[in-house]
């Protein structure tokens, strides 16, 4: 069983439609795929239809942009009721914050002599609810200013770079509560990825577990072998579910091909058990896993 629990479609900042993502998962020999677009369930229905016809197991999830003690934390939420009002309110606030800063970032780019307008970004975003930096990056690529998204973030859009503007993120502890109340389960994505070395640590994770955290993503391209070993140890100590995933974005991220990292079937089974408990306790209409 090959299980990939973290992927993006055009419903946020991936470059493939949800149906193309599912077809790609099938072609990559995956048995289970989770679609986890940033802060939205907009791709769920199309992905579920595609999974039913392709005969692949699909877990509906999302990756929520949160903050904890001044650090950005991406929280994967699996199988929550996407209509649970407090969750919807937080997602809307994040999406609005992401959209709202685009004009300011474009004006900073103009100050640098780079002329990208709102229409360029809109074209790059192709109707997603989660218009953000990746789409500004794509517009910069289209204009020939940079070669790819990575260069756009490194030179202009990343934290500390000249066109960067910070945005709203939801409080992690609040979101953990909302996901549980919505009948879903939470896993921290790439906990020590990018610049965030060793945060959250063992004590932080123990506390977050008390707030409902179910697991951490250990096998991710942003973690080297030593980081993975250390995170695996923390997860075992705290009895957290250990996941692995590609964080696939289509052509939007290199070295993130579907199935490049996977989740062990026993860990996946634990996650689904926890989700079933959360769903029953919540009394919410949670999505089922789509089974072939």
By CB under 6 A, name the one of 10, 149, 248, 284 that touches ligand AMP: 149
At 4, give phi and psi (nearest 5°).
Answer: -120, 115
How is residue 217 written in tokens?
Answer: 């993503």
Applying CB under 5 A, does 13 fall inside the site for Zn ion? yes
Please identify, using beta-carbon distances, which residue of 133 and 223 lies nearer to ligand AMP: 133
By CB under 5 A, name the one of 37, 57, 247, 267 that touches Fe ion: 247
Cβ atoms within 10 Å, residue 237: 11
By CB under 6 A, name the one of 43, 61, 132, 250 that touches ligand AMP: 132
Whole-angstrom Cα distance, residue 289 to residue 173?
26
In the block, tokens 């791709």 appear at 43
Minimal CA–CA distance to 164: which of 108, 207, 209?
A: 108
User: Residue 189: which of Fe ion, ligand AMP, Zn ion, none does it interact with, CB under 5 to 8 A by kind?
Assistant: Fe ion
32 bridge partner residues: 3, 57
In the block, tokens 């998204």 appear at 149
DSSP, res 155: I
Applying CB under 6 A, does 14 fall inside the site for ligand AMP? no
Piece of 8-16, 20-28, 235-243, 259-267 that binds Zn ion (CB under 5 A) = 8-16
Alpha-helical segments (H) within the chain = 18-27, 44-54, 85-100, 102-111, 118-125, 133-142, 149-152, 172-181, 202-210, 225-238, 265-282
Applying CB under 5 A, does 253 fall inside the site for Fe ion? no
By CB under 6 A, name the one of 44, 78, 153, 192 that touches ligand AMP: 153
Q: Interface mask (CB under 6 A) for ligand AMP, residues 207-246, using x and -? A: ----------------------------------------
What is the three-class DSSP state of 65? strand
Applying CB under 5 A, does 74 fall inside the site for Fe ion? yes
Piece of 108-116, 147-155, 179-187, 225-233 that binds ligand AMP (CB under 6 A) = 147-155
Piece of 19-27, 128-136, 173-181, 257-265 that binds ligand AMP (CB under 6 A) = 128-136
Whole-angstrom Cα distance, residue 244 to residue 5?
7
CB 288 within 8 A of CB 48: no
Please identify, using beta-carbon distances, which residue of 47 and 234 lies nearer to ligand AMP: 47
In the block, tokens 């408990």 appear at 277
Piece of 44-52, 115-123, 129-137, 174-182 that binds ligand AMP (CB under 6 A) = 129-137
Tell me the torsion sign for CA atoms 125, 130, 131, 134.
Answer: negative
Compute CA distances 220 → 129, 193, 235, whole Å: 26, 8, 15
Applying CB under 6 A, does 13 fall inside the site for ligand AMP? yes
Please identify, using beta-carbon distances, which residue of 134 and 259 lies nearer to ligand AMP: 134
Applying CB under 5 A, does 219 fall inside the site for Fe ion? no
Binding site for Fe ion (CB under 5 A): 63, 74, 189, 247
Binding site for ligand AMP (CB under 6 A): 13, 38, 65, 98, 132-134, 149-150, 153, 158, 253
């Amino acid at each position: 069983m090959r299980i990939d629990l973290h992927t993006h479609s055009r419903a946020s900042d991936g470059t493939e439609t949800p149906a193309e993502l599912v077809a790609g998962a099938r072609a990559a020999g995956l048995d289970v795929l989770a679609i986890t677009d940033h802060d939205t369930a907009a791709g769920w229905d199309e992905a579920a239809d595609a999974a039913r016809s392709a005969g692949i197991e699909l877990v509906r999830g999302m990756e929520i942009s949160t903050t904890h003690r001044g650090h950005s934390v991406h929280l994967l939420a699996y199988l929550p009721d996407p209509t649970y009002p407090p969750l919807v309110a937080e997602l809307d606030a994040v999406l609005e914050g992401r959209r709202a800063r685009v004009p300011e970032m474009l004006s900073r780019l103009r100050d640098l002599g780079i002329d990208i307008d709102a229409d360029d970004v809109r074209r790059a975003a192709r109707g997603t609810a989660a218009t953000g930096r990746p789409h500004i990056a794509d517009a910069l690529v289209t204009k020939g200013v940079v070669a790819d998204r990575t260069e756009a973030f490194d030179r202009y859009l990343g934290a500390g770079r000249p066109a960067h503007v910070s945005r709203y993120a939801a409080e992690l502890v609040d979101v953990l509560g909302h996901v549980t109340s919505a009948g879903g389960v939470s896993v921290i994505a790439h906990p020590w990825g990018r610049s965030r070395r060793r945060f959250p640590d063992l004590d932080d994770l123990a506390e977050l577990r008390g707030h409902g955290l179910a697991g951490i993503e250990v096998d991710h391209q942003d973690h080297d072998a030593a980081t993975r070993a250390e995170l695996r140890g923390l997860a075992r100590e705290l009895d957290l579910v250990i996941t692995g995933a590609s964080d696939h974005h289509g052509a939007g991220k290199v070295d993130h091909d579907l199935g490049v990292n996977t989740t062990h079937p026993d860990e996946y089974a634990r996650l689904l058990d926890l989700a079933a408990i959360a769903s029953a306790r919540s009394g919410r209409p949670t999505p089922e896993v789509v089974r072939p």
